[in-house]
C-alpha cells in the first residue's frame, strides 16, 4: 500500500491530476464488469432513441459501439514494429481512448438529465410555465452534444486503429502488390473493365502515380469501416438541431422581477 501511495504521489506531482484520472480510467474501462455495464448503456441509448429520437441517443449508441470495437481491437493489435498497443506504458494509446470515453459518458448523462427534466419538470411550479419549449431546447442541445461526441470518438478511433500501421512505400513490396501496366493490358482482354477498376498501377518503365506509396490495405477492418460509415450517417439532423437551439436563444425573455437591480 505504501508503494502504491508513493506512486500516486509521483503521478500527481509530475503528471498532474488529469493524468492520474486518465490512468484510472484506462484500468477501469477494460474491466469485465464495466464492459458489461457499457453494453447495457448502448442498449439503453437505443431504447431512448426509439422514444425520444431528437435527443441524438441513436448517434451516441453508434459511437459507443465504435468505441467498444476500437478498445477490443487495440487490446490485441500491435504497431508496425510488433509492439503491443494497449499497455500502461503507451499513454498515447490509452489516454486518447479514455478521453473518447469521457465524451460518450458526458453526452449520455446529458440525455438522461433532459429526460428527467421532461418527466419531473411538471411537478415543479418554477418550471411548469414554458416547460415544453425548455425541454425542446435542451433536447436539441443533447443532439448537438451527441454529434460532437460522436465526431471525437470517430476521429480518435480512426487515428488509433490506422495510425500505428506503416504506410506502404514504392519499393519491391509495392511492385508485388500493385498491377503492372503490361499485365493489366493482357488481363483486360479476358476481364473487360478491369483496368478502370485497378487502383495502383506501375508502368513498364517503373513510373507510378505521384503519391507517397500504394494505397494502404485494410484487411480485417471491414466491421470498423462499416461502423465508421454508419456513425457519419448518424450525424444526420445534428446541424438542424444546432440551428433550432441557436434560434431559440434569440427568443429568450427575462421576466421582470421586483428585486432586479435597476
Residue in 66, 64, 80, 246 with CA at minimum distance from that of residue 163: 80
Range name among 26-35, 67-76, 181-190 with the lowest pLDDT average = 181-190
Model's pTM, two decimal places? 0.79
* pLDDT tens profile 34-58: 999 999 999 999 999 999 999 999 9
Task: Kindly give the pairing relationship between strand 179-180 and strand 201-202.
Answer: parallel
Range name among 73-82, 213-222, 244-253 with the lowest pLDDT average = 213-222
Report the 10 Å Cβ neighbour count for 145: 22
- For the chain, the domains span 2-164+229-249, 168-215
Cα separation, 64 vs 34, in Å, equals 13
C-alpha cell at 192: 473487360
Cα separation, 222 vs 245, in Å, equals 36
> Does residue 201 sit in helix, strand or coil?
strand
**What architecture (CATH level 2) is domain 2-164+229-249?**
Up-down Bundle (1.20)
Predicted pLDDT at 162:
93
Predicted pLDDT at 20:
72
* pLDDT tens profile 121-156: 988 888 777 899 999 999 999 999 999 999 999 999
Q: Which residue has the higher pLDDT, 18 or 88?
A: 88
Q: Which residue has the higher pLDDT, 3 or 67?
A: 67
Cα separation, 19 vs 197, in Å, equals 48
* CB-based contacts of 151, cutoff 8 Å, min separation 6: 235
For residue 78, what is the DSSP state?
Answer: B
Predicted pLDDT at 197:
47
pLDDT above 90: residue 68: yes
Contact of 115 with 48, CB cutoff 8 Å: yes
What is the share, in percent, of the chain residues with pLDDT greater than 90? Answer: 53
Amino acid at each position: 500500500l505504501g508503494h502504491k501511495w508513493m506512486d500516486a504521489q509521483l503521478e500527481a506531482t509530475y503528471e498532474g491530476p488529469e493524468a492520474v484520472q486518465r490512468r484510472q480510467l484506462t484500468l477501469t474501462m477494460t474491466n469485465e464488469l464495466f464492459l458489461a455495464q457499457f453494453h447495457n448503456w448502448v442498449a439503453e441509448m437505443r431504447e431512448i432513441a426509439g422514444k425520444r429520437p431528437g435527443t441524438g441517443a441513436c448517434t451516441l449508441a453508434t459511437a459507443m459501439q465504435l468505441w467498444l470495437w476500437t478498445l477490443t481491437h487495440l487490446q490485441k493489435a500491435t504497431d508496425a514494429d510488433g509492439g503491443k498497443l494497449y499497455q500502461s506504458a503507451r499513454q498515447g494509446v490509452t489516454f486518447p481512448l479514455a478521453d473518447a470515453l469521457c465524451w460518450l459518458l458526458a453526452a449520455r448523462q446529458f440525455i438522461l438529465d433532459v429526460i428527467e427534466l421532461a418527466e419531473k419538470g411538471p411537478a415543479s411550479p418554477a418550471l411548469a410555465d414554458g416547460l415544453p419549449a425548455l425541454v425542446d431546447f435542451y433536447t436539441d442541445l443533447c443532439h448537438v452534444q451527441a454529434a460532437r461526441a460522436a465526431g471525437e470518438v470517430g476521429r480518435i478511433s480512426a487515428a488509433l486503429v490506422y495510425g500505428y500501421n506503416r504506410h506502404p512505400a514504392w519499393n519491391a513490396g509495392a511492385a508485388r502488390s500493385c498491377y503492372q501496366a503490361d499485365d493489366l493490358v493482357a488481363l483486360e482482354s479476358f476481364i473487360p473493365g478491369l483496368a478502370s477498376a485497378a487502383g495502383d498501377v506501375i508502368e513498364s518503365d517503373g513510373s507510378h502515380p505521384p503519391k507517397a506509396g500504394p494505397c494502404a490495405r485494410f484487411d480485417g477492418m471491414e466491421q470498423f469501416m462499416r461502423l465508421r460509415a454508419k456513425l457519419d450517417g448518424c450525424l444526420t439532423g445534428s446541424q438542424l438541431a444546432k440551428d433550432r437551439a441557436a434560434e431559440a436563444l434569440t427568443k429568450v425573455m427575462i421576466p421582470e422581477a421586483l428585486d432586479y437591480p435597476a
